[in-house]
Structure 1
Amino acid sequence: MSSTDYNYDEQGQFFPFFILTLTSLITLPLTYTLLRPSKVLENTAPRIRSDYRPEHGDIIQKQKQKLLRKERRLKRIFTVLVGYVVMAWMVYLIIVTARSTPKIWDPYDILGISRSANEKAISRHFKRLSLQFHPDKVKPDPAKNETIETLNDRFVELTKAYKALTDEEIRNNYIQYGHPDGKQSFSIGIALPKFIVTEGNGKYVLMVYGALLGVLLPYIVGKWWYGTQRYTKEKVLVASAGNIFREYKDDLVGGGIISALSSGEEYKQMLKDEKAEKGLAKVEKKILSDGDSVEGITLSAKDRKALADLENASRRKALALLWAYLGRVGLDDPNLEEEKFGVAPTAFTLNDSFASIALAFGNLQPILGSFHMSQHLIQAIRPGASPLLQLPHFTPQIAKSIDGEHSKSHMSVPQYMALSEEQRKKISVGKGLLSEQQYASALSVARQIPALNVSKSFFKVVGEKVVTPSSLVQLVVKARFIPPGSINVPEVNESDLIDIDPDEDDLDANKATKKRKNDSDERVQPPLAHAPYFARDHSPRWYIFLADSRQGRMAVPPFTFTTFDKPIFDKDGKPTFNMQTLKMQFQAPPQVGKFPFSLYIVCDSYIGFDTVGDITLEVEDLAKAAALEEEDDISEPDEDSIAGQMQALKTGQAPAPKKRAKKPVDESSEEDESDTDGDADDTSETDTETDTDGE
């Protein structure tokens, strides 16, 4: 009867394999997460070429590196390095540690005879061995440390080997179990270091296992679980999202949004203890000073009151630092400057949470306010200040001079670049304005900003002539990137404005279209936002949505575009003016009629580049769709008809086989249908096509 014997592995044979396996299970997956190609847009996008370096550029770069180190997760890198060190040590132990591997019991090897020997030869050989090793024939040799017991054991082993080859019953045991005595006990070595099982260390082993399984493991799992529950999908603390939700109002814009963002719990962690009070009075004095009284620099009475009413020191300092950052106010203190540039990336993330809350309510004003706030945070420009401050070397004084002393509105970058070279240079270069070199640097950046110019926008339903109630309708936007100041811009090719879908039975075309949508490597990224004051790289995002401006409500939630299907700039950095096709799909209204919308296209990175236009969605009834389809079927001449033969004589080609016309749709029985029947070959635009002019 067999038994299983568990014992300590004296030679440490199994311990390195055990530790190597456990370490590999942790280290290799972590290595994959570190080495796999990053899908973060900021890591793969090109940059706008500029030699401009802002004041305190070293502090901004320091803050950017600090954020990068945080995102790289140094703890994970350290864990991987330690894991590979442990794995290398275990491999070394496996190679150099002396191990005794039990040999397989082999009667031929014990007798020292060939496996091809027959039974007669085996018997003769055993007789010779008996004469040589029988305990009665040989005496122990002290020089070889032999005793009577070792001689007896050796002869017994020889006898077992002989019988295993000649005795039928014993030979069956050997063949079935690998040993003449039948099934043997199984010994398992415990893969633990020797010091753990040494007598007297038992209590310490229990303490270690108790700490690992009862304290460390629950702590790690709990921390991971609590960490996943602490953050929203926008990667802000749940508590911060709650605070912003309480600050939300239907008319919140500009300074109100900045005040709401200062309620984030992240600022309490960033400005805790003595940091909350230290330098607060100095920052407030700087931002509240009327100074030169330049528009966009001083705070409004409402924003001053919002700051003064705050009692929490960390939030009050965060709000003051945000105003200092947006106003590019010098604080004359390296620590305060570092904090000033550190609050902006956090506010940008919190603004994503505010945008989600605003979208949930559906009010247009705060939604637009959140998109515009991301522009101001990236460009470090206060709401209401001149958009020209986005260009290098521009100051509020220079921007005010270009706008004109008595101007009530600010000139945008596209308007500035649309001026003639002579006029633009006249108002920009001179004493108290820009130098020739600064002017050239500003124009260079302006000509690289990817400004999306809409050529055409319309609604369509794939495979249908008209939009029917509750159908899946596509909003198609045809647009080109035309940087401000571009010259020799080619005219729009009318063929580029046509959107043709492949036939349903064209599998290759449909597969290629689907691959282009899914393959991010073939998509083109615009350059990173030119944001010299923002301590984080940012890839621009374009939001396209429909709104009911009369009611001030969102109609179709925003679709976000970060990559495009055609190159924006060529290898030399010159714009290509390629026509880009942007598509958004949503469900049409369930009733027939004309639905006017405002089409918004907003870039989250640049101020003054928004596009707003009117567009109308016309929803037709199902009967009209069926009638149009039947007309198409009738208008196509049959191949066997006289008209078809005449067409063949004219064109040299036979007409395509005519498809059988569908029965007209019964409006009374199918008024709740979400799609129309029909297999129209041509995909054309709806009657509701509307060109959108940017405002």
Structure 2
Amino acid sequence: MSSDYSYDEEGTLWPFFVFTLSGLVTLPLSYVLYKGTRDPAASFPRIKSDYRPTDAEVVDATRKKDRRKDNKLWLVFLVLLGWSVMAYTMYLIYVTPTTIRSIWNPYDILGISESASEKDIKSIYKKLSRTLHPDKARPDASKNETIETLNDRYVEISKAYQALTDEEIRNNYIQYGHPDGKQSYSIAIALPKAMISDGNGKYVVLLYTLLFGVLLPYIVGTWWYGTLKRSKEGPLMESANRLFRQYEENIDVGGVITALSTGKEFEEALKGDKADAGLSKIESRILAPGETTPFAGGLSVKDKEKLEDIESGPRRKALALLWAYLGRVDLDDDALTKSKYEVAPIAHSLTKSFTAISLAYGNTAPILASYYASQHLIQAVPPKASPLLQLPHFTPAIAKAVEGDSRTVMTVQSFMDQPDAKRRSLAVGKGLLTEDQYKSAVTVAKQLPYFRVAKAFFKVAGERCIIPSSLVTLVVKGRFIPPGSEAVPAIDELELEDVDAAEDDLDAILGRKKKKQIGKDEAGKPVYEAEAPEAVFPPLAHAPYFARDYSPRWHVFLTDSKQGKMAVPPFTFTEFDAPIYGEDGVAPTFRMQTMKAQFAAPPQAGHYTFVMNVVCDCYVGFDTKMEVTLVVEEASKAAEMVGEDEISEPDEDSLAGIMNAAKGGPPPKKKRAADEEEDSEEEESGTEEEVEDTSDTNTDTEPEN
């Protein structure tokens, strides 16, 4: 046996190789490019509004620029090149004839079926020998026959006959597929011979060196360095280090804004001549007297001093632009206006790193200040300014006129809770809002997703009480009730219960979406919905000044008000189970929503009072604070309470019954027909016995309309 290595001289193999190789590279890159060009926010619901701020075109252009920033030119070039190569090689595969090597088959050579007898084989062979024997065969020129082809044909039928009649030759055919035994084979390299012949080999070596010795290490190194260069939250590690040095235990929202200006990302955005250009103009505008505040930018005297203490450079300009953005200060310069809207999303991304740093320290004030800074950046509202500025057409002067002489800040909820006639008298008039502007503001306010907490309590799944170090679940029940909502239905007390899943409900145990039963068929079997309900996302934040599409997030965490420390880290919620708005996208459904957070109970028994914070990171004044009490019982007392309960034998068809039998327990009791009928009625009514709450909760929140 011998082997032969040959190149694809006929050009039938290398197109397949190149097509496969280019496809392995082009298809993933095409997917990455598609994901980069696709707007992920396109599928999210939006708050309907016709409001367009003065610089709406600049904001829209900045938002579109951000969507395109990941679409690198080199990536587009590689994808186009890859698809071009694949198209060309596919064309070659289609037009190039392929050489098909047939399998040696003695029956096909003799022209007989595999069921032919030995007699038939001999008869056919004799007939062919008389016509193909070299002594008798005469070539036919019309069939392009020659003496050589006839001789080869005669040799073939002779080998075929021997393979079917001679035992030794037949064994060779059966074992090796050929009467002559094991044959030599050839390995065709899927590269044209011209690539390595006539002095072209050095170019091939050079190409492979560039691909695998230079390009591949560069791509891998760039990716690896990029992962190390950024923190887990997204900002650069250098920015996170600088924010760490800016951390203070008593920092407020203005201090967080000042700290965010240290981000290295601003140096890249304001590099070169941009660092100092127009800085004096920005500062003169933001430090000018404001309508209702000492400065137009909304900064305090302390914030002004911090700004002036910064040496000239990207950081000072970044901070000045941030205050110009928060104060909605007109800069009368296209370049400066564009930069003003570009720095806000950068600062907002840095709040994630500052929040992570604050959580590591565990102090309540910096954590809340970080979340509040996120709200103000998204809404373009200065710290301590009126939350009414979140509504369209509202200015500081109009917000001040609506609030009047009250020293307390009026939230959007309190403004919308007033009768329409009173709202109009406060907001509509000369120097205030027009009738159309008022309607626009009210329309937006009635769509804002304000989460109103109805009940919060602690529980341990399947247990009547909470013991030390057990896994506790904080259950928060509430509804989305937009400000100014009318005809809000009363709360169904059953919706405030949190019933544990049955022990044999695998869907609930594994966290799968459970299909809802909608009835029963003729045979009495339950009928479920076609598909399990999908997760519901709230509408994108109504933020006409923020040059990004942002989906709201709700953070739930517990704090110790006495020590000013965080007790349970935040749990973040971005989606819900029940629809928030109706099919029109405007009318609220008032469906009860459930948010759950699990944590370990304290190691000692006692009563623990916490402050529960429910913070929305993109709307000012939409937060909830309430006291909740966690009651932790001694393990011995919990055992006594369990012992007092009547424990029934598990049913034989339940998972508990099977496990009980496996442990050698007594035979499970079979349910009586009356009990089964009673259970069936309970299931149809949709009511189940709830595990008793083991915590006291102060749910003294705002009364619902």
For the criterion TM > 0.5, the same-fold answer is: yes
**CA 1:655–1:438 in 2, change beyond 3 Å: closer, same or farther?**
closer
Contact 1:296–1:385 (CA under 8 A) maintained in structure 2:
no
Partner of residue 674, structure 1: none
C-alpha distance after superposition, 1:370-422 (max 9, x if no partner): 00011001101111111111000011121122222x54443211121122222
Partner of residue 591, structure 2: 578
Q: CA deviation at 1:286?
A: 2.0
Quick check: 1:128 aligned with 2:131? yes
Contact 1:46–1:527 (CA under 8 A) maintained in structure 2:
yes
168-177 vs 118-127, greater mean Cα deviation: 168-177
Partner of residue 86, structure 1: 85
Please state whether the residue corresponding to 1:219 is helix, strand or coil: helix
**CA 1:132–1:364 in 2, change beyond 3 Å: closer, same or farther?**
same
Trace 1:434-513 onto structure 2 (pairs within 5 A): 434-504=433-503, 506-507=504-505, 510=508
Letter in 2 for 1:102: R
Partner of residue 662, structure 1: none
**TM-score with structure 2 length normalisation?**
0.84
Q: CA deviation at 1:311?
A: 3.0
602-611 vs 99-108, greater mean Cα deviation: 99-108
Partner of residue 392, structure 1: 392
Partner of residue 515, structure 1: 513
Please state whether the residue corresponding to 1:597 is helix, strand or coil: strand
Q: CA deviation at 1:544?
A: 1.1
Partner of residue 194, structure 2: 195
Contact 1:612–1:694 (CA under 8 A) maintained in structure 2:
no
Partner of residue 360, structure 1: 360
Q: Distance in 1 between matches of 2:582 and 2:36?
A: 25
Contact 1:296–1:382 (CA under 8 A) maintained in structure 2:
no
Letter in 2 for 1:128: T
Partner of residue 345, structure 1: 345
Q: Distance in 2 between matches of 1:194 and 1:62?
A: 53
Please state whether the residue corresponding to 2:452 is helix, strand or coil: strand
Please state whether the residue corresponding to 1:559 is helix, strand or coil: strand
Trace 1:38-437 onto structure 2 (pairs within 5 A): 42-71=41-70, 79-106=78-105, 116=116, 117-131=120-134, 160=159, 163-164=162-163, 167-290=166-289, 292=291, 294-295=293-294, 297-298=296-297, 299-311=299-311, 313-404=313-404, 406-437=405-436
Contact 2:499–2:689 (CA under 8 A) maintained in structure 1:
no
**CA 1:303–1:122 in 2, change beyond 3 Å: closer, same or farther?**
same
**CA 1:591–1:300 in 2, change beyond 3 Å: closer, same or farther?**
same
Partner of residue 667, structure 2: none
Please state whether the residue corresponding to 1:557 is helix, strand or coil: strand
Q: CA deviation at 1:195?
A: 3.3
Partner of residue 620, structure 2: 607
Contact 1:569–1:575 (CA under 8 A) maintained in structure 2:
yes
**CA 1:612–1:151 in 2, change beyond 3 Å: closer, same or farther?**
closer
Q: CA deviation at 1:368?
A: 0.2
**CA 1:212–1:444 in 2, change beyond 3 Å: closer, same or farther?**
same
**CA 1:588–1:168 in 2, change beyond 3 Å: closer, same or farther?**
closer
C-alpha distance after superposition, 1:612-652 (max 9, x if no partner): 1222222221232223223333999xxxxxxxxxxxxxxx9
272-281 vs 315-324, greater mean Cα deviation: 272-281
Q: Distance in 2 between matches of 1:684 and 1:114?
A: 83
**CA 1:692–1:473 in 2, change beyond 3 Å: closer, same or farther?**
farther
Partner of residue 556, structure 2: 544
Q: Distance in 2 between matches of 1:629 and 1:149?
A: 100
Q: CA deviation at 1:75?
A: 5.8
**CA 1:446–1:139 in 2, change beyond 3 Å: closer, same or farther?**
closer
Q: 1:531 aligns with which of 543, 563, 569?
A: 543
Q: Distance in 2 between matches of 1:520 and 1:296?
A: 54
**CA 1:150–1:374 in 2, change beyond 3 Å: closer, same or farther?**
same
**RMSD (CA atoms):** 3.4
Identify unmatched segments of 5+ residues in structure 1: 637-651, 658-679
Partner of residue 669, structure 2: none
Q: Distance in 1 between matches of 2:511 and 2:271?
A: 53
Contact 2:41–2:549 (CA under 8 A) maintained in structure 1:
yes
Q: CA deviation at 1:319?
A: 1.4
C-alpha distance after superposition, 1:510-545 (max 9, x if no partner): 45974259x995222221111001111111111111
Q: CA deviation at 1:154?
A: 6.3
Contact 2:104–2:178 (CA under 8 A) maintained in structure 1:
yes
C-alpha distance after superposition, 1:90-148 (max 9, x if no partner): 222112113333344455666677774422441342133225666xxx699899696x8
Q: 2:610 aligns with which of 597, 613, 636?
A: 597
Partner of residue 616, structure 1: 629
Contact 2:243–2:262 (CA under 8 A) maintained in structure 1:
yes
**CA 1:407–1:75 in 2, change beyond 3 Å: closer, same or farther?**
farther
**CA 1:152–1:334 in 2, change beyond 3 Å: closer, same or farther?**
same
**CA 1:143–1:48 in 2, change beyond 3 Å: closer, same or farther?**
closer
Identify unmatched segments of 5+ residues in structure 2: 516-530, 650-673, 680-687
82-91 vs 424-433, greater mean Cα deviation: 82-91
**CA 1:131–1:156 in 2, change beyond 3 Å: closer, same or farther?**
closer
Please state whether the residue corresponding to 1:476 is helix, strand or coil: strand
**CA 1:361–1:158 in 2, change beyond 3 Å: closer, same or farther?**
same
Contact 2:508–2:514 (CA under 8 A) maintained in structure 1:
no
Q: Distance in 2 between matches of 1:279 and 1:631?
A: 77
Q: CA deviation at 1:493?
A: 2.5
Contact 1:164–1:170 (CA under 8 A) maintained in structure 2:
yes
Q: Distance in 2 between matches of 1:438 and 1:200?
A: 79
Q: Distance in 1 between matches of 2:27 and 2:607?
A: 59
Contact 1:545–1:557 (CA under 8 A) maintained in structure 2:
yes
Q: Distance in 2 between matches of 1:131 and 1:509?
A: 81
**CA 1:128–1:467 in 2, change beyond 3 Å: closer, same or farther?**
closer
Quick check: 1:683 aligned with 2:675? no
Contact 2:454–2:479 (CA under 8 A) maintained in structure 1:
yes
Q: Distance in 1 between matches of 2:499 and 2:295?
A: 48
**CA 1:511–1:592 in 2, change beyond 3 Å: closer, same or farther?**
closer
Contact 2:121–2:161 (CA under 8 A) maintained in structure 1:
no
**CA 1:178–1:287 in 2, change beyond 3 Å: closer, same or farther?**
same
389-398 vs 187-196, greater mean Cα deviation: 187-196
Partner of residue 672, structure 1: none
Letter in 1 for 2:388: L
C-alpha distance after superposition, 1:454-496 (max 9, x if no partner): 2222222222222221111222222122111122222323232
